C-alpha cells in the first residue's frame, strides 16, 4: 500500500471545518459543501497501449479492508490490469490517519460501549453520510492527483473512500467508473454515497439494505478470499493438526477476534471449554496481552499471529468469531460452520444479524444456547445446510463486475443517490 503525507494540516482542518458548517441546518449552499474550483479533473478512462490500470482505495484499519484490496488486486492483475492500491488514511494530515486508527482501537478495547453508541447514532442520524462527506472533502483533490491518467476504474473497499469518490464522480471530476466493494454484510449509511456507479454486495440481504439507504445499483457479486482457503479432506485435517500440534481426534473450535484480538475473547474461550463439546483453539493475532492472559488461565492451544491461516482452518471443526469480517469469510470458504458469539459492538453485531438472516452463520445470543449450537454445527444437519449456503457466496467473482466496467462492456454513468427516508 502506498502511503503519503499532507504538508499543511492546518489548512486541511480549516477546510474541513468550513465543509462541516456547510452541511449544518440553516446554511445556504449544496449539501456536500461549496464547490472547490481548484480541484483538478481526472481524465480517467484513457486506455494506453499497454496494460489498462485500476486503482483500489482502502483504509488501513484492522486487516479486512486491506486484505480485500490485495485479493482484488491479485485477481485483476490476472485479468491483465495494472493495479495500484492506496491507503486513504495516508491522505490525511500527518499522523491523523494513525490517530483515527488508534482511537478506534482504544474504543474497542477499553470502552466498547462508546463505539456502539457512536455506531448506533450514525445509523439513526440521517445526516451521518453527508457529514462524513464534508469531513473528508479536503481529500478529494489529493486523491484526484494520485490517480494516473490511464485509470480505467476506481474501486473502494473502505467507507471513507466511498465518500471521497462519490462526489468526484457525480460532479464529473472523475471520468472513470467508481465501484464500491462492500466488505461488511451489514451496510452502514456511510457506505453509501451519491455518484458511485456500482456497489458489490455479499448477499441479497445486504443488497436490500444498501438499496434502502439509497444506493442506486447494488449487485450481489460474490466474496473474495485468498486462494488457499478450501474445504479439507480427512488427511488434510490430520496433517494440519500435526502442523499446529493439536489433538488428532478431539473436536476443535477455532476462536478468532480479528487482527487486533479485541472483544470478550477470554470469556468466550472459557465458555466454549465449559460446554465439553469442543476444545478451544484461540488466535490472539497481535494482542500479546490477551495471549499471555489465556496462557496463565491454563488454555493449551493459544496462538499469536498466524501466517498460515488456510492450514489452521483445515485443522478445526467449527469457527467461532465475533466481528463478521474477513476471518468469517475465510472460514466459510474453508467449508467450516461459522458461529458468531459475543460479537463486538457496532459493526460486529450488525454483521451478525445480517449474516444470520442470510443463513451463513448462527448467532448465539444466549450462553445457555452455546453447547447445543456447537454440537449442531459440528455434527448436525443445521451445520451442513449452513456450510452449503456459505460456500455459495464464492460462486460469483466481483472482479468480473469491475472488469466489465473498466473495459467499457457496460455503460458507466454517475449515479445519483436518493437520500434515505428512514
Domains of the chain: 9-224+397-406 (3.40.50), 234-394 (3.40.50.2000)
Is 19 exposed, middle or buried, given 0-12, 13-18 or 19+ CB atoms closer than 10 A? buried
DSSP string across 76-131 = HHHTT-EEEEEEGGGGSSTTHHHHHHHHHHHHHHH-HHHHHHHHHHHHH-TTHHHH
Alpha-carbon span 81 to 140, nearest angstrom? 24
Q: Identify which of 156, 147, 138, 170 has the alpha carbon closest to the alpha carbon of residue 36.
A: 138
| pLDDT reading at 321 higher than 70 | yes
Predicted pLDDT at 411: 56
Mean per-residue pLDDT for 185-195? 93
**Nearest alpha carbon to residue 364 among 355, 354, 353, 373:** 373
What is the mean predicted confidence (pLDDT) over 243-262? 92
Element (H, E) at 54: strand 53-58
Q: Are 377 and 337 in contact (CB under 8 A)?
A: yes
- How high is the pLDDT of residue 385? 85
For residue range 73-122, what is the model confidence (pLDDT) as tens digits? 999 999 999 999 988 887 776 666 677 767 767 777 777 777 777 777 77
The arithmetic mean of pLDDT across residues 60-70, rounded, is 77
Q: What is the pLDDT of residue 110?
A: 74
Statement: residue 28 has pLDDT above 60: no
Instruction: State how far the Cα of 156 lies from the Cα of 162, in Å rounded to an integer.
Output: 6
Comparing 16 with 252, the larger pLDDT belongs to 252
Across 244-256, average pLDDT: 96
Once rounded to an integer, what is the mean pLDDT over residues 228-248? 95
Distance between CA atoms of residues 265 and 302, nearest Å: 11
Q: Which of 279, 389, 380 is nearest to 332 (CA)?
A: 389
pLDDT tens per residue, range 331-385? 999 999 999 999 998 888 999 999 999 999 999 999 999 999 999 999 877 788 8
Predicted local confidence at residue 264, as pLDDT: 93
> Cβ(187)–Cβ(213) under 8 Å?
yes
* DSSP string across 234-256: HHHHHHHHHHTT--SSS-EEEEE
Q: How many helices (H) and strands (E) in the chain?
A: 17, 12
- The grid cell for 56 is 483500489
CB 188 within 8 A of CB 212: no
Eight-state DSSP code of residue 195 = B
Q: Which residue do the cell numbers 459543501 mark?
A: 33
Amino acid at each position: 500500500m502506498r502511503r503519503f503525507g499532507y504538508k499543511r494540516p492546518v489548512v486541511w482542518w480549516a477546510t474541513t471545518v468550513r465543509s462541516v458548517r456547510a452541511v449544518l441546518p440553516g446554511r445556504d449552499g449544496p449539501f456536500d459543501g461549496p464547490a472547490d474550483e481548484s480541484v483538478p479533473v481526472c481524465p480517467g478512462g484513457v486506455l494506453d497501449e499497454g496494460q489498462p490500470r485500476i486503482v483500489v482505495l482502502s483504509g488501513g484499519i484492522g486487516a479486512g479492508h486491506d486484505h480485500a484490496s490485495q485479493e482484488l488486486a491479485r485477481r485483476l492483475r490476472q485479468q491483465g490490469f495494472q493495479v495500484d492500491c492506496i491507503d486513504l488514511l495516508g491522505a490525511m494530515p500527518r499522523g491523523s490517519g494513525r490517530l483515527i486508527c488508534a482511537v478506534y482501537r482504544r474504543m474497542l478495547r477499553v470502552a466498547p460501549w462508546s463505539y456502539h453508541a457512536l455506531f448506533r447514532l450514525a445509523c439513526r442520524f440521517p445526516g451521518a453520510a453527508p457529514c462524513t462527506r464534508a469531513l473528508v472533502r479536503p481529500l478529494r483533490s489529493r486523491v484526484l492527483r494520485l490517480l494516473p491518467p490511464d485509470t480505467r476504474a476506481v474501486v473502494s473497499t473502505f467507507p471513507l473512500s466511498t465518500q471521497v469518490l462519490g462526489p468526484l464522480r457525480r460532479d464529473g471530476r472523475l471520468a472513470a467508473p467508481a465501484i464500491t466493494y462492500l466488505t461488511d454484510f451489514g451496510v452502514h449509511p456511510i457506505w453509501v454515497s451519491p455518484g458511485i456507479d456500482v456497489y458489490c454486495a455479499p448477499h441479497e440481504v445486504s443488497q436490500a439494505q444498501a438499496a434502502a439507504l439509497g444506493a442506486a445499483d447494488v449487485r450481489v457479486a460474490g466474496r473474495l478470499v485468498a486462494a488457499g482457503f478450501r474445504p479439507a479432506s480427512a488427511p488434510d485435517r490430520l496433517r494440519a493438526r500435526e502442523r499446529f500440534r493439536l489433538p488428532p481426534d478431539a473436536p476443535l473450535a477455532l476462536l478468532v477476534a480479528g487482527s487486533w484480538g479485541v472483544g470478550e475473547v477470554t470469556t468466550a474461550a472459557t465458555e466454549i471449554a465449559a460446554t465439553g463439546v469442543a476444545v478451544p483453539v484461540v488466535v490472539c493475532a497481535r494482542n500479546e496481552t490477551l495471549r499471555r492472559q489465556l496462557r496463565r488461565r491454563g488454555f493449551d492451544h493459544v496462538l499469536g499471529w498466524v501466517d498460515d491461516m488456510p492450514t489452521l482452518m483445515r485443522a478445526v471443526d467449527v469457527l467461532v468469531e465475533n466481528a463478521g469480517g474477513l476471518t468469517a469469510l475465510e472460514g466459510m470458504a474453508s467449508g467450516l460452520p461459522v458461529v458468531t458469539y459475543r460479537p463486538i459492538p457496532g459493526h460486529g453485531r450488525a454483521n451478525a444479524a445480517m449474516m444470520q438472516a442470510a443463513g451463513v452463520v448462527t448467532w448465539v445470543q444466549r450462553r445457555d444456547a452455546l453447547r447445543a449450537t456447537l454440537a449442531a454445527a459440528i455434527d448436525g444437519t443445521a451445520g451442513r445446510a449452513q456450510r452449503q449456503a456459505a460456500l455459495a457466496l464464492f460462486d460469483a467473482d466481483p472482479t468480473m463486475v469491475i472488469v466489465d466496467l473498466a473495459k467499457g462492456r457496460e455503460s458507466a454513468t454517475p449515479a445519483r443517490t436518493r437520500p434515505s427516508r428512514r
